[in-house]
Amino acid sequence: MEFNFKQIAGSYLFKETVKKFLGTESFEIVVRPACFFIRLKVEDTKFTKRIIVFPPYGFAGDEIDLLNPHPETRKARVKILGKINPLKKGFKPITREVRLDFAITRNIPTEKTSLYARFSKKYCKSQLKSWKNWFYVVKESGWGNFHSLVNLSKEWVVVLLEKEFVDQKSINIKNYLDKLSKKEAIELKKSVEKIKNVGDTIFSDEVFVSKVLEFPKEILVPILIQMLNVKETGKHENCTFFAFLLKIGKKNNKLVLEETRQAIKLKSAPYYYLEDLEKKLLKLKTN
């Protein structure tokens, strides 16, 4: 019998699982291309727990062979709780039907227009995992910085994630907003908040994206760089601001490159994003 996420989320087992691991505080469901993240609306800045629900043959990346970067993570581990049937009160065992794909090096090439890396045997490995046992998906050494999980079974699967964040820099965009008219400043601040709250699905709203790109680039670019410090909540917020910078860099390469190099010098945003952005901008410049 096939089930949908609404049936899974409405089941006794799902509700009890959320209550057990996330407590009774308000939570939200983040919808990804092939899985669902359940997270507290207000998470701790240092450590958090999340629940991931995979549909049959679901995966954590944007595509089945794309690995997500996790520079915001100091370390993270996962426990597979089991297969979930909304008609049952307990999890069903799952043995070697969840695949962990991970990069064996930090220097794996990323996609031309994004921060994601495509799985390849040259740079990556896979491991099959079973339920109940904890396993690390990111280690402090940097192992697993790029990774993804794939459900190989034809049933819904629930996974518990525990994640410890690296120290994050504070975001300060007020100085840049002050250079705009009051009306423009309010509009840009609202736009930045919307990007942060929506994440990478914002690009489906082409009208909104076009309006954002109309703001003065000398103000917009340093703000977007500051927003690379935003906390990740499962919506790929950092990658979204990165993508906006790349879009601008196609037409305003010199400006974005100069601001990126200045940010590297001042260490005003995570080095991983800035380093990859600089590489991509240089390639755009030579093409």
Which residues constitute the domain of residue 230?
Answer: 174-286
Question: Mutual orientation of helices 182-198 and 217-226 as an angle, nearest 10°?
Answer: 40
Provide the CATH number for the domain around residue 137. Answer: 2.60.120.10
Query: Do 157 and 30 share a structural domain?
Result: yes
pLDDT at residue number 143 = 85
The DSSP bridge pattern shows strands 157-165 and 73-83 to be: antiparallel
Query: Do 260 and 229 share a structural domain?
Result: yes
pLDDT at residue number 287 = 61
Query: Do 90 and 38 share a structural domain?
Result: yes
The pTM (predicted TM-score) of the whole model is 0.89
Q: CA-to-CA distance for 84 and 163, rounded, in angstroms?
A: 23
pLDDT, tens digit, 9 for 90 and up, residues 101-123: 999 988 899 998 889 999 999 99
Comparing 223 with 106, the larger pLDDT belongs to 223
Final residue belonging to a domain, choices 165, 199, 230: 165
pLDDT, the chain, mean: 94
> Mean of the pLDDT values across residues 183-199?
97
Work out how many domains the chain is built from and give that number: 2
Query: Do 33 and 121 share a structural domain?
Result: yes
Q: CA-to-CA distance for 122 and 118, rounded, in angstroms?
A: 11
